[in-house]
Chains A and B, each alone.
Chain A
Amino acid sequence: MALATATALAATLAACASSDSDSGSSSGDGTVSGEVSLLTPIFEGSTGKELLEGTLLPEFYEMYPDVKVNIDYSSYSKLNTKLTTSVASGLVPDVMLMGVGWIENFAKNGVLADLSSLGLTEEELSATHSSMVVNAGIYDNKVYAVPIMLDARFGVARMDLLEEAGYDHTPTSIEELREMAKALTVRDASGTMTRAGFDLQSNDSRQVFETFLFSGGGDLFNEDITAPAFNSEAGVEALQLMSDLVLVDKVEDVGYSSTDATVNPLINGRAAMGLAHNNLWTQTLEADPEMLDNLEPFLIPGDDPSMFFGGTLATMSSKSKNPEAAQALLEFLTSAGPALAANEQRGNIPALDELLTSDYVTNNRFVQFAMENLDVAKHEGGPAEWLEIRGNFTPAIESALLGQTDAKSALDDLAATSLATMDSN
C-alpha cells in the first residue's frame, strides 16, 4: 500500500515533469541526474542526520544513482532566516521542507513551484492524505506542497496526580480546568512552586494562545482572510484565561518552565496538567516508559473543543535547475517509507493515511488521539503575510501574561498592526 502511494505520487509528478530543464538531464528511460540542494528542519541533530544520510539517502541513491543531494540542515527557529537569505542571494534550495502557514507567502512571491502545473491535484492528494492537511499546502487553489508530518497541541493530564487529588477524569469545562489546576498546584513552605497545576510555558506562547482560541470557537482570521479575527470575544477570552491562570489562579509562575526545558514538567511530575506537543509520548517513552500509563490526552474544553496542529510539508523551488531530480527527491521524502521514518524520529503524526495503521502509530496513543480529533483541529496561517504577522504575537501575549496590558488591548493592538501589514502588501 505504501509503495503504491509512493509510486502513484512519483508517477504523477514524473509524468508531468517540466521538459524544459536546461542543466538537469533525463535519460529518457525514467532515470534522472543532477545536483540538488535540500533545506530541511526535520532531520536536525545527530539522530536525524544519521537517519537521513545513513539510511534514507542511500535508498534514494539506489533509485537515482546519478543524483547528488546537498543537505542544508536547519532548526525551525532559523528556517525563516535561511530561506530569506537564500531568496535574497538567488540560491533557493531545490527542495525545501517548511511549516504549515509558510506556504502562502513563498507561493505568492513565486519562490515555490506550482505542483498543480506538474499534474498533482488537490483531489489526488486528498485521496491519500487528510484533506485538512492537504489544505495547508494549497494557495490560490493550486498545490504548492506535499505534507509529510503533522504535530498537534492538546491538553495532557497526569492521571496519577489527578487521582491523588480526588479527580478521576480530565477537565470537562474551562471552569473545571481552572478549579482542578488550582487544586493540583503545589508550593513549598516558602511559597516556591514545586508543581504547576497547569503548565502553559513548555510550548510556544503563540501556539498556546491559538489552542485556547480554537477551543473557544475562535479563528485567527475572517473567512475570506481579509482581516484578523483573533481579537474577537473568543480571542479575548482565550488570552484572558491564559493570564488568569498565571496572574489570578497562580497555577504556574512565570519562568517555572520554558520551551527550552530539558524535561517536560509533565514527565517528572513538576506539572499535573498542561498543554503538550504530541511528541511528549516519544519523550516519555525514552525518559520513563512506565509513566506513559499515567498520561491522558484531552481537548481543551470550550465552546468548540479543538486542538492546534502544525506540520511539515515538502516544496520545490520554482527556479530549480534540476527540476526532475528535485521532483524525484520530493516524491521520495513524501513517500511512505521515508515519511514514516521521519515521523518516528520526531514523534510526529504521519500525513499519509496509509501510515496510520503502522505499528508506530498504533502504539502511540498521542498520535492516535490527534488523528481521532483531526476533524476538529485547526492550523495557523491564512494570509500571505502570516510569517510577518506571527512575529508580533509573542510580545503581545507576553505583555498580557505579565499583566502589563489587558487581553483586549493587547489583541486589538495586534489586530491593528496585522491589518496594516495585510493591507500594505
Chain B
Amino acid sequence: MVAPGALWLGFWVALPVVATFILSMTDYNVFNAPKFIGLDNYIHVWNDPVFHKATWNTVVYTFWTVPVSMAIAVVIAVALNQKLRAQSWYRAAFFLPQVTATVAIAMVWLWIYNPQQGLLNNALAIVGIPGHAWLESTDTALWAVSLVGVWQGIGMKMLIYIAALQNVDEALYEAASIDGASTVRKFWSITLPMLKPATFFVFVISIIGAFQVFDQVYVLTDGGPANSTTMMTYEVYRSAFQNFKMGLACAQSVFLFAFLLVMTVISRRMTKGDES
C-alpha cells in the first residue's frame, strides 16, 4: 500500500532535492557536463549583492503581504460566516483571484498601474492627487507588487478561516452573550483563540508562498527598476535560464530552502507554547 506513494515521493520530491544539492556544488552551464567546484557557488551567493538585494526584497514582500492578507482574510471570513444574502456569491468573488492565472491578474494590474491610462492614476486625478509611475519608481515598485500579492492571497486564507470558523462551538458565543460580552470582545476572546491552529497553518503556507513569489514579478516588473523588485525565485530563474548557471541557481535554491526551513521552525516554536 505504501510503495506507490513512496515511489512517487522518491521520484518527484527526493530525487530533485538530492539532485539540487549535488548540482549546487558544481559548475554546470547546461552545455557541458557538471564540474565539481565544492562550495564556490555558496560563497558566490553569500557575497553577491544582487542576491542580497533579492533576499531583502523577498523578506520585505513576505513581512508586508503575509500579515496584511491574513488580517484582511480573517475579517472577511468572519463577515462571510454570518447569515448573509448571496453569501456564496461573496465567497466566490473573494476566492476568484486565487483560481485566476497570476499572469492574467498581473496583466490587469499592469493596466491599473499604468501611469497614463491606468485606473489608479485616473482615480487619483479625480480627487486632485497627481499620478505616479508606480512600477517604474524604486520607491513604489516593491509595494505595488506586494499589493497584488496581498489581493491575490486573500481568497485561500479566507477559505481556510471560514472552514475553521465553522468548527467553533456556538455554545462559547452563547455563554459569552449571557455574560454580556460585546461582539468585539467575542472576536478577541473566542474567535481568534479558536482560530489559532488555522492561523498557524495559514501563516506557514503564506510564508512559503510569499518566498516563492515569481510570476507577478516576471510580468509586472521583470525584477526592475534597478533590481528593486528582484526576488529570490526570480534571481534563481535568471541564473538558470538567462545566465546558464544551473549550479549557481541550485545553490540559490538551497539558500531559499534554508530560509523557508528557518521561518517554519521559528513559526512552529512561536505557536507551540500557545498550543500547550
Task: Give A contacts to B, CB under 8 Å.
Answer: 80-81, 84-85, 87-88, 105, 109-111, 190-192, 253-256, 258, 260, 387-388, 391, 394-395, 398-399, 402, 404, 425
Contacts and interface: CB of A to CB of B under 8 A. Distances in A.
A105 B110 CA distance: 34
Contact of A395 (B32, B133, B224): B224
A405 B80 CA distance: 50
A378 B31 CA distance: 29
B131 A402 contact: no
Interface stretch (B83-91, B185-193, B237-245): B237-245
Interface in B205-251: 222-227, 230, 238, 240-246
A258 to B, nearest CB: 8
16 contacts: A84-B240, A84-B242, A87-B31, A109-B29, A109-B32, A253-B133, A254-B133, A254-B225, A255-B134, A255-B135, A256-B115, A256-B116, A387-B242, A388-B242, A391-B238, A395-B230
A255 B246 contact: no
- Please report whether the interface of chain B is mostly helix, strand, loop or mixed according to DSSP: loop
A191 B130 CA distance: 9
Contacts of B245: 388
A81 B29 contact: no
Contacts, number: 72
A395 B227 contact: yes
A105 B31 CA distance: 10
Nearest to B133: A255
A81 B242 contact: yes
Nearest to B139: A402
Nearest to A89: B30
Given A190-B130, A255-B115, A80 B29 contact: no
A403 B28 CA distance: 37
B131 A192 contact: yes
B137 interface: yes
A192 B242 contact: no
Contact of A87 (B30, B116, B223): B30
A318 to B, nearest CB: 11
Contacts of A111: 31
Given A190-B130, A394-B224, A85 B137 contact: no
Given A109-B32, A398-B224, A80 B136 contact: no
The 8 lowest CB-CB distance pairs between A and B, nearest first, are A255-B133, A109-B31, A255-B136, A399-B226, A255-B115, A388-B243, A398-B226, A81-B241
Nearest to B31: A109
A84 B245 CA distance: 10
B138 interface: yes
Given A190-B130, A395-B223, 20 more contacts: A84-B242, A88-B246, A105-B244, A111-B31, A191-B130, A192-B130, A254-B137, A255-B132, A255-B136, A255-B137, A256-B115, A258-B136, A387-B244, A388-B242, A394-B222, A394-B224, A395-B224, A399-B226, A402-B138, A402-B225
